[in-house]
Every structure is written in structure tokens, then in C-alpha cells.
Amino acid sequence: MTFEDFQLNRQLLNAITDLGYDVPSPIQEQAIPLVMGGHDVLGIAQTGTGKTAAYLLPILMKVKYAQGKDMRVLILAPTRELVMQIDTAITELAKYTDIRHVAIYGGLGPKTQIETIKAGIDILVATPGRFMDIYLKGEIGVKELKTLVLDEADKMMDMGFMPQIRKILEVIPSKKRQNLLFSATFPPRVEELSHEFLEFPKKVEVSPQATTAEMVNQILYEMPNFKTKINLIGMLMKDIERFKRVIIFCRSKEVADNIFKFLARKIVPENKIKVIHANKGQNTRINSMEAFREGNVQVLVATDVAARGIDIQMVSHVVNFDVPIIYEDYVHRIGRTGRANHTGEAITFMTEAEEYHIKKIEKIIKMEIPRQPLPDELVIEETPFIEKQEMLREIDAQKKKEDPNFKGAFHEKKDRRVKSKEKQEKQKKQMISSGRAPKNTSYRGKSNGGSSRRNTNKK
């Protein structure tokens, strides 16, 4: 099958040629004729399958050219990155048309966005929150709306956008509207939404629910602690030949900043590495993403908040510095690599406390992620006491979650510690009352031991 078979107009076919798409991807083969036929469509497809063009091409066919003032198409997506990415795809695919479009999202003042809308638009791409903000100011005309797309519906629900989406559905005209819903996964709540939102939908699915991209080679390292993870990431990133374009995902902004600082100081030239997370200013995030997209940056460190919707081709590696605890994020994270016929590698670092989550992920992806022995040259660090305790506490909490009657090894240990401390206190009191109290209780303290060791060394 070729793109010519869809009876798309010449402007779109030329843009497709410019983009270098040779043949339609499976989701495009299935969805384009249905959307062009005017059906409501439910598409189950991960990012990386070509789903954006699958709905954009028929939409651009329908919109054809600039007309009127108010939007005729509204595309809602969960994050500003995804909104921007969809908008970029429109720019590329509609480059030989005069179709007007704008992306609106939070984090920036709404003034310019409002001005663009007022000047007249055909397609609006928005996060649900920002759409409602501007709509309530009375700046978005909805009367001409003919097509509504919910992209990454599962993520929108995860992020708590359901109330806003319901409000949007209330304020836009429902007559003669074509509705499209795309989602990476199809849990019951997305199914419910699809009943509410779509009329006699046609369902298209390119891979079974939450299976991982076939092209991705997955590897898992069992790691003793955070510092060893840092050593390994440093070791891997030194191999520039292999790790050409890498996204490192981690759970929190703090960890992201730490990895960034470590790599920028010791391993990767500072202009070749960027970090993005919610605390970074909007412009910094956009610039970092662009630099990475253009290939000027080797390593991008990101949190999950920033991870969705990143569309960068030919990422050589995804490294999960932490195991994601929203399990579907694993699928989304590794979906960044191995896309559009490029093989990629997804490497996951797992501590003992994270094994529980990996087991859950393996259930979802219906496969075991192959374990790889740690490299011989890797420096294995001792696990600090606090980190060990934290891990034990986490493992206990996980076991309790599975079995509410589980007492917990850690708590038993803690109990023993408390008991022995109580015993010591009791002995001390007895000693004091019998007049045998030691004069200086700090005698056996650290500093003394340390100095005696130093002295020994001098000898």
C-alpha cells in the first residue's frame, strides 16, 4: 500500500514525500480510510506507531484550506510537549496549504495564544486545562467545530483531566461532529470514556494492549544502590560511539538534577547534555528538547512528567535510571526508541526495592526483561545505612500491600533495636543507681576511634 492509495490531495502527498515517509504504517493503513469515511474512530496505538499522522492526514484533507475565523478541529492532548509535537506535525504535513493552526498550553502567558486564535484559526491543539482557561475568557469560538480528537486519552485520565474533558464536551456542539480517540493502552476507564464520547466507533489497534515495541532490545541490570547506578551511567555514557542519542528517565527532579550534574561534570561535555523536568522554565525545556531533536545534544535527562509526548527519532538508547512506578510509563518510556524502523535499546537499572515494580511491568508487557550481568569494570559501592533501611522499608511496604497480614522483617528488626536500646537504658539506670556509672559515656565515640586509627597509620 502507498499513500497515493488514500486519495489524499497533492499538497499532502508532497509533504509526505518531503518527510521521507515511504509507506503508510499499519495504524495509518487502518485508520486513514475510516477517518476519511467520516467514522468515529477508537485507535489503540502507542506513540512511535505513526498514529499522529494517522488522524492528521484525513483531518487536513477535510479542513483543506483556511476558512472562516473559528476553529473547525480541536485536538486535546495531556502535556505541552505532546501538544507542541502534534502542532509541529501539522506544520510539516500542512506546509503546502494555508491551514492555520496554533498550540495552546500552560506555563506561558496566554496573550500571544489568544491573539493567534483571534486572528482566525482552523485547527487548535490544546491541553484541556489551558483550553478551558481561554474558553472561559470568551476567546474561543466553538460553533464551527466539526472534529474533536482526544490523543493519549489514557494519560489524560491518569493526569486527572477527566473533569475538564467533560466540561469541554458540554460546551462544544455535538451535532455532526466526528470524534476520534487515541490511547496507548485500553484499560476499562478508557473503554468507558469511548462509550461516552464516540458514536458507533470503528476500533483500530496496531499492537495488543501494552505490548512493548518489537524493535526495542530490552536489558535489565540488577543494581545494589544509587551510587552504583551513578557509576554505571557514567561508564555507559563514556561510550559515545554506542550511546549516540540517549534519554535517561528518572523518577524525580532531584535525581534528574543529580545525574545531570554528575555527567556534565565528569563524562559528557556540558553542551552535549540537557535536563528537563517540571521545575525548568518553559523556554529552557523547549530549547533543550529542540537541541536534542536536532542532534546537537547526546544525552537528555528527563522525568516522567516531561517524558510523555517527546517525539524524537532515532534515539539510540533509553535508560531507565529508576523503574517507573506508573507501570504503563515503562511502555511509554521505551517507546521513545526503536521507532520508525530503527532498532533501539532500553536499559533499566533495578535495585532490590524496585524488583516488585519490575515484576508488575513484566506482567503487563507479558515478557521477562532479560537480566544482564554487571560489567566487570563497574565499581560497586557499599550501600549506605540510610539507603539500605529505606529499601527494606519499601520492600516491607510492598509485601504488606500483597499480604496485609505480613509483619515485616524490617519492623521486627526495628523492634529488636528498640528492645535492645530499652535494655541498655535499663542497665545504665541500674549502674547509675548502684554508683557504677561510667564518667564519660562518649569515651567510646567515633572521634576517639578515628584518632587512634590515624595514630596507628603514622607509626
Residues that bind ligand AMP (CB under 6 A): 21, 24-25, 28, 47-53, 311, 313, 339-340
Report, in Å, the least distance between residue 290 CB and ligand AMP: 15
Q: What is the residue type of 148?
A: L
Give the residue with the Cβ less far from ligand AMP, 51 or 251. 51
Report, in Å, the least distance between residue 116 CB and ligand AMP: 24
Report, in Å, the least distance between residue 5 CB and ligand AMP: 13
Report, in Å, the least distance between residue 241 CB and ligand AMP: 24
Give the residue with the Cβ less far from ligand AMP, 52 or 218. 52
Give the residue with the Cβ less far from ligand AMP, 21 or 262. 21
Give the residue with the Cβ less far from ligand AMP, 21 or 135. 21
Give the residue with the Cβ less far from ligand AMP, 50 or 78. 50
Residues 178, 38 contacting (CB under 8 angstroms): yes
Name the residue with cell 474512530.
41
> Crossing angle of helices 253-266/226-238, nearest 10°?
50
Say how far apart CA 132 and CA 127 lie, in whole Å: 9
Report, in Å, the least distance between residue 414 CB and ligand AMP: 48
Report, in Å, the least distance between residue 337 CB and ligand AMP: 12
Name the residue with cell 542532534.
295
Residue 67 region, left (φ>0) first, then alpha (ψ -120 to 50), else beta? beta
Query: What b-and-e string marks burial along 206-230, b requiring 16 or more CB atoms within 10 Å of the CB?
Result: bbeebebbeebebebbbbbbbbbbb
> Residue 190's closest CA among 163, 156, 213?
156
Give the residue with the Cβ less far from ligand AMP, 21 or 406. 21
Backbone angles phi, psi at 99, to 5 degrees: -60, 135
Grid coordinates given for 305: 512528567
> Residue 206's closest CA among 24, 60, 367?
24
